[in-house]
Chain A
Amino acid sequence: MTSLVSLIRRINDRLAIGVGLILLACVVFTLLEIVTRRLGGSLGGVDEISGYVMAVTTSWGISYALTEQAHVRIDLLRQRLVPFGRAVFDIISLLCLSGTAIVVAWRGWAVLEKTLSTGARANTPLETPLWIPQSLWWAGWVWFAVSASILLVSVLVKFLSSDYQSVDDIAGARGEA
């Protein structure tokens, strides 16, 4: 179980770098656009592509923030509890988080499915086929749901064997970033 969690951590780490590099590519593209515009031309579509990059950065980044325990939690009450109580709070949190992730991934499919069935394109000069950014975005949420569920199962296993320290290592609250 522990090795599965560390595998997810490693994957998310690589994903974060990948997403970061896409962000940098977007920086370069935007800079080129600013320069071109000064010269009187335009590459076109910078705003549209930045929007897609943001949607993808977000949906893939949230799993990384999850495994890095970076999602903000108010742990005023939690930090006053004994390890058992803290573990219960961490499990409730992770349960709510996985549930929400699954609902968003499920409802997100409806968006992608509609795009696929109608072949919708963006209402812009680029006429981007929307299934491309949307499937990348949707896959991010699915991965978030998968990561969260795996963490939840591992945490439950640790909890049942009274290993509260490991519960904290996987799902405890860390200082807000």
Chain B
Amino acid sequence: MIAFTSVGLLGLLTLSIPVGIVLFLLAFGIDTFFSPFPLMRGLGQVVWSSSNSATLIAIPLFVLLGEILVRSGVARRTYTALEKWVAWMPGGLIHANIATSTMFSATSGSSVATAATVATVAMPQAKALGYNQKLFSGAIAAGGTLGIMIPPSINLIVYGFLTESSIPQLFLAGLVPGLLLAALFMMITVVICIFKPSLGGPRQSSSLGEKLEGLTDLLPILGLFGAIVGSIYAGWATPTEAATVGVAIALLIAAHQKALNWEMLSKALRGSVKTSAMIMLVVIGAYVLNFALTAAGVSRALQNVLNGLGLGPLETLLVIILIYIILGFFIETLSLMVATIPIVVPIIVQLGYDKIWFGILMIILVEMALITPPVGLNLYVVQAARKSGSFSDVMLGCIPYALAMLAMVGLLILLPQLALFLPSTL
């Protein structure tokens, strides 16, 4: 049954059948071949109750928020303002790439949107100032992955929904590792550019006056982040309600930038419906598969296999991480998460690990999947924004940042408190 599920999963995915549909088909297969009683009579009820959810409506809302921001020109201002603050370090503008990604990821829930936004703003500058393209574009692709780590994160909402863990706690747990990862990215850039200045570009210094002036351009996005995260932790709002607050503020920002009109709004609405429906088909498929796997006892069977191997908890965890890294070369973030959560998370919990902590660990691993070829979405997004140059530039430029992510995985295993400290104190 385990072989059926894993071979079926990989085989059907290779046939390029839509990921959500693959999950449905596997559930149908388990029902037909392995279940003692017909599961799929309850299919309608499972689909209804998985999509009738006040938690999940946060997904279209956060996507909408990102769509509005991207279309309102805030990104450009944020980039210019942050450039004044960070471009004095060795590596220059590369730090602005990482910092802008960090800020944007804090407000938009998606990595790809973040990478696309920063790439469009930053790439022309890199060309004008004669930066080495490799590290520069690598930093955008890698920085963009922070979007799914720093709250609000759509991937964490999906993880929380499928594993029945608290979303505010997951958001809190992602904050420190997310910021730490951004800091690691910057440190690694500094080190590389000190030893090989040719990989970077000109540093820029700005006066204190210019820095303070830039601060006003950062206010909208900082305010937005503060309102979303603040209202959740002040206990005023659930993550869903905070998302509505975010949408309202984003609309105000767009109106202030004189970018709010029907054409822009209708594009943002279409984009939000399209992206969230795409996400939801995968989520519903995972929910149905989850239901079938549990009813047919697959998780139990898999645990028996693992116990039979005689590995300790840490060894098992390392094997699971290795599997994620390998799968990450071929499968993308959300699909990777959603297809594996029903199988992996019960095992992790049985080993005695914390669900919230593993959620954050999994996010770093799927972040890595976003920048590992041949299937690494952010690589393509950045390459598309460059419009010239070879694809391998972006790929090579990502390697230092992928190593930083590996280091972060190690840190999280050694110091689980990095993720768990905030949720346990607040």
Contacts and interface: CB of A to CB of B under 8 A. Distances in A.
Interface of A: 13, 16-17, 19-21, 23-24, 26-27, 30-31, 33-34, 37-38, 46-48, 50-55, 57-59, 61-62, 64-65, 68, 70-78, 89-90, 92-93, 96-97, 100, 103-104, 107-112, 133-134, 137, 141, 173, 175-177
Contacts of B60: 23, 54, 57
Contact of B20 (A16, A72, A112): A72
B51 interface: yes
Contacts, number: 204
A132 to B, nearest CB: 12
Contacts of B47: 104, 107-108, 141
Contact of B375 (A70, A74, A110): A74
B9 to A, nearest CB: 11
A23 B19 contact: no
A47 B280 contact: no
Contact of A110 (B41, B266, B276): B41
Interface of B: 12-21, 24-25, 28, 40-41, 43-45, 47-48, 51-54, 56-57, 60-61, 64, 112, 231, 236-237, 240-241, 244-245, 247-248, 266, 268-270, 272-278, 280-282, 284, 330-332, 334-335, 374-375, 377, 380
Find the residue from B241, B273, B377 having the highest chain A CB count within 10 A: B273
30 contacts: A16-B274, A19-B273, A21-B269, A23-B269, A23-B272, A27-B244, A27-B247, A34-B236, A34-B244, A48-B54, A50-B57, A51-B53, A54-B60, A55-B52, A58-B51, A61-B273, A61-B274, A61-B276, A61-B280, A62-B277, A71-B20, A71-B278, A73-B16, A74-B332, A76-B330, A76-B374, A77-B15, A93-B21, A107-B40, A177-B112
A111 B231 CA distance: 37
A176 B18 CA distance: 11
B280 A58 contact: yes
A17 B270 contact: yes
A75 B16 contact: yes
Given A30-B240, A54-B54, A108-B43, 7 more contacts: A38-B236, A57-B277, A65-B274, A70-B275, A76-B374, A109-B44, A177-B278
B272 A20 contact: yes
B68 to A, nearest CB: 11
Contacts of A177: 112, 274-275, 278
Contact of B270 (A16, A55, A134, A141): A16
B51 A55 contact: yes
Nearest to B63: A177
Given A72-B334, A176-B377, A31 B278 contact: no
A47 B55 CA distance: 8
A12 B3 CA distance: 39
Given A16-B270, A30-B244, A97-B21, A54 B56 contact: yes
Contacts of B24: 100, 103-104
Contacts of A21: 269
A77 B281 CA distance: 22
Contacts of B244: 26-27, 30-31, 34
Contacts of B274: 16, 61, 64-65, 68, 70, 177
Given A58-B280, A96-B21, A74 B330 contact: yes
Nearest to B272: A20
Cβ-closest 6 pairs across A and B: A20-B269, A61-B277, A107-B44, A107-B43, A111-B44, A54-B57
A16 B240 CA distance: 21
Given A17-B270, A96-B21, A107-B40, A176 B332 contact: yes
A20 B57 contact: no
Given A71-B281, A108-B48, A110-B44, A57 B273 contact: yes
B43 A104 contact: yes
A59 B51 contact: yes
Find the residue from A16, A52, A58, A134 having the highest chain B CB count within 10 A: A58
A155 B25 CA distance: 22
A77 B330 CA distance: 11
B335 to A, nearest CB: 6
A113 B276 CA distance: 28
Contacts of A110: 41, 44-45
B241 A30 contact: yes
B19 A111 contact: no
Contacts of B269: 16-17, 20-21, 23-24
B52 A54 contact: yes
Contacts of A16: 269-270, 273-274
Contact of A74 (B14, B56, B112, B275): B14
B167 to A, nearest CB: 14
B21 A100 contact: yes
B108 to A, nearest CB: 13
Find the residue from A68, A71, A175 having the highest chain B CB count within 10 A: A71
